[in-house]
Structure formats: C-alpha cells, structure tokens
Homo-oligomer: A and B are copies of this chain.
Amino acid sequence: MKIVSVDPFYLRMPEITSAADGTQDTLLVRIQTDEGIEGWGECDASPLVSIAVYCCPMSHGNIINIRTSLIGETLDSPEDILRLSAKVLRNGLDIQQIHHAYSGAEIALWDIMGKKLEKPIYSLLAEMTDTPQKSHPKLPYASVLFGDTPEDTYQIANGLQEKGYQAAKFGWGPMGKHGEENDIALVRAAREGMGSDNQIMIDAGVVWGTDYETAFDRAAVFSEFSPTWLEEPLAPDAVDAYRSLKSKNPTLSIAAGEGSSTYRMAEDIIVNGDIDYVQIDAGRIGGIYHSFQVRLLAEQNSIQYVNHTFKSHLSLAAALHVFATNPDFNLLEYPAAGSELSDCIVKNPFQIDSDGLVRLKDKPGLGVEVDIEGIKLYYKPVRIHVDSETILDQPSL
C-alpha cells in the first residue's frame, strides 16, 4: 500500500471562549492509500499551528514537513508505522510542534493498518509487543470543569450522579484562585453532588505552578472528601517540584502527565517526578505507539496509566486501544460535557454499558466511524501563502 494523501482538517465552533474546554475546536487528520483504505486521527493541539507542520517549507534537513515525509511512502505492516514515525520525527527534529501535529497522522496510520489487517489496533499492539491480547472494560469517569461556584459544582456533580456515573473528575475554573476556603467548598460540593459511594477526582489545572507546599496543604484538606487523586497541582515541567511534593508524603495520590509532548517528558515525570497516576494524551505525545510505550513504563514502575482525553470519541478510541489490554488500568477519562462539535465527529460513540463500564468493540482499526456530514458544518478550510507561493489551499470536504 502507498500513502497518497495526508490532510489535516480544522474544525471549530462558531464561538470560542477562554474556558479550559478542549472541545471548542479540533484538528482531524485523514490519510488515504492507493488501496482505497483511509484512516482518521485527532490531535489535541492548536489546529493552525499543527497544520503549519503539515505544510511548512523546508528550512534544512531537520525541518521537513509531515506531508513530505509521508506521501508516497509504503505502509504494509505495523513495523512500517514505527519506521514512518521515526522518519517524521527525524525530519522534524527542529520543529518543536512535531509531536502535537504528528499525533493525528500516527493514529490514522494505525486505523488504516487495522482496517487492512482486519484487526482492532489493540490486537496489533499486543502481537507486536508480545503483551496480553484480551481487551478489558474500563470504568469511565465523567471529565468536567468545576462550576464557577460551589453551588454550580454541586449541581453539575449531582447531574452526573443522576445520569449514573460512578466516577467524575472536576477541574480547572475557580480551583486555586480564590483561597483555601473556596477550594475546599468546591471539593465538598463535588463529593456531596456525586454521593459517598462514587469516585471523585480533583484536577487543579496547574494552578500552583512550582508551589509544592500549597499543593501539599491542599491535598491534606481535600483528603477528608476522599478523592481518588489530586491532578496537576503543579506545572507540567515542574518535575523537581513534583518530587518535592511526593517526598512530603501527601495524603492523596498525585496524577499528572497530560502535558507530555514527548515520551521523555512522560518518563521524566514518572521516574523523576515520582507521580502515582500518569495521564497521557495520544493526541499530543506523537500518537498511539508513543502512548503505548508510556503504558509499558507505567507497568514497569507499578503506577497506573490513565488516558487524557478532552476531545471527541475519535480521540477516546485511540486512547482506549493503548491500554485496553491491562485490566489493572481500570479508569477511563470520558468526556461528559462535550460541545456540539465534539459530539458530532463519530457516528458510533462509546456508550456506557448497563454495568457502568465502557468496552472496545472488536472492529478493525480504531472501530469508530467519522461522520463526514456532521463535521462539514464545522470545517474551516485554511489557505496559507508565503510571498507569491501557495503553501496550502484546502478544498471543501
């Protein structure tokens, strides 16, 4: 099979706010082959910046765009994906955004390969790495933002409980911005709204920067409400601060890692930051295989791998294939308050089964189907000209 096209598509809602809501826009990547098989992937990145990585003019041998690296290439086996990933990353050595941008393409390559070989991606990964073959269900935790007030947060939490969620994560928004008392009230509201039988997680949204003392203090006062973890109390690259926090033996488990744009960043925060849960976005770290390597590292280090997903169920599918075969990694970040955009991207989203769990179906590739008619409503074609040269001029979908 030869790769004949590689196309990034910028989709966005009519209005974008500064809330920490990643479902307001997105970047999908479609790859087509000469055998008529096509694959799709989704990036969690700035769409325009990542589109530039698909089409930027060559600067020298270390700045060569993704299309140049992929179009015309051979794709016949999972090993080819690894070879192409190495090529893309080597050609983009001096493009910082290369991992964010390439993630969607890498996921699309796995989607194609699964369709070609008529196997789900998790099976291909298992065969390639000699790891367990069986897919296991996950407990979805509804991933939502805090309300602006404790009262709003209670209403959100209560609504999720009424919908039957057994776990929910609350993040960003007012957390850490109005003092300890308000922070505690927010966590109390989340707990009371979800009830005592369900899990809650608290996502501080990097609000304390490098201030691990405050993070430690908050973990102490939050522990009364028994959250499963305290997530990203510190900046993504504040590795020493994470280690300092952990060395004080906080009363809560610490989760982090969604900011990992490279395997090394994940390895660094696991090994040197000493975190308890590592959260990886396959749409940022360079795709499925880099995420899978972090999963393996988490297994070696006896910590729990969790997906980071705040996009559509296209991203959720990619995320699930990475760790479906490890039953101990039982939690799944499940976008529960998406936009009209993120809700329309796939025709067959992951439903929560009657036992409250989410399962991969044994379909080839990602196992989800992009809704072309749905996404047309949100598609924004991009044109880029450098002087008199047209670098990109996207057609209608």
Which A positions have Cβ atoms within 8 angstroms of B?
A: 10, 12, 16-22, 24-25, 44-49, 51-53, 55-64, 93-100, 172, 206, 236-240, 259, 261-264, 267-268, 272, 284, 380-387, 391
Contacts and interface: CB of A to CB of B under 8 A. Distances in A.
Contacts of A268: 239, 264, 268, 272
Given A46-B59, A52-B48, A384-B382, A239 B261 contact: no
Max chain B C-beta neighbours (<10 A), residue from A17, A263, A385:
A385
Of the listed residues A16, A49, A99, the one surrounded by the most CB atoms of chain B closer than 10 A to its CB is A49
Number of chain copies forming the complex = 2
Nearest to A384: B384
23 contacts: A10-B386, A16-B58, A16-B60, A18-B60, A20-B62, A22-B59, A25-B57, A44-B94, A45-B94, A45-B95, A46-B56, A46-B59, A46-B94, A48-B384, A48-B386, A49-B53, A96-B96, A96-B97, A96-B99, A239-B267, A268-B272, A383-B384, A383-B385
| Dominant SS among interface residues on chain A | loop
B60 A97 contact: no
Nearest to A236: B93
Contacts of A24: 59-60
Contacts of A51: 52
Nearest to A22: B60
A47 B19 contact: no
Given A47-B56, A97-B97, 7 more contacts: A16-B57, A22-B59, A48-B384, A49-B53, A96-B284, A383-B385, A384-B384
A49 B51 CA distance: 8
